A and B are shown apart, each in its own frame.
Chain A
Amino acid sequence: MSKPFAIMAEYETPAETMAAAKKVHGEGYQKWDVHSPFPIHGMDEVMGLDNAKVGWFTFFGGGDWFYNGYGHDLFHEQI
């Protein structure tokens, strides 16, 4: 019998899923994930994930636009 590839568990309600996730995270597993039809409030902390990096992308995107739009005029004299 070949080695099982992965283990999957299905729950009825979001609360049970969160509880299970807490246990799994507690056991120290690394390669695991939670799938749900809608974002479950509070699941990130339970899974111990840090802040999403989307914020930084947006910030630097904004900075780039600002430089192209106004920055090079304001900061450099007439090049």
Chain B
Amino acid sequence: MSNIFPKWTNRLPLILTVGVLVAGACVVAGVTYYFTPKYTRVGYQPIQPVSFSHEIHSGQMGIDCRYCHNDVDKSWYSNIPSAETCMKCHSMVLAEDPRLEPIRKSFKENTPVPWVQIHKTPDYVYFNHAVHVNRGVSCVKCHGKVNEMDEVKHSKSLSMAFCLECHRNPHENVRPQSEVYNLNWEPSAEWDADREGQALVDKMKIRSSQNCSACHR
């Protein structure tokens, strides 16, 4: 009766322990990256019905964000402009361009242009645009450098940890109210978050609550 277990099985315990440790590490690393919003959301860049380029409009031409998203400082929902706003210029500029066909169709038939949504928080999260943009938090913090995007891309993870970063230290992310819609603004050399940033926070009495009641109700 031959021996049941070959010789190498003696080293089995050693192989097992090392294998388990390595495999475990890989799984944990994989999950922390692939299964969190850092990966599942960042980089999502769907094709829009009209290839609207923020880079041209807000980057090169310097149109203010509130020209199109005019309700961003009044409501929790930053609205998408209707075709009427586009046609204010595009009735003359690029009047026959085939790419703007959906805009003209929408304007004529008064039907909405089916833009594809990119930034979306879950339904149980109540994010409010107005309170952020009116109090020194710029669009770039959450939407990234939109003025350099030819096609809008989901640049920040918008996970809870991401929001908590700002809420935990608002002084590092607040800027003067005048610079909120200037996406290229960078803190100058002598801008020290603990001094100027904290001054802004104290002046505006910013109480960025880290509590569930801030976003969930």
Tell me, yes or no, whether A and B come into direct contact in the complex with CB atoms closer than 8 A. Answer: no
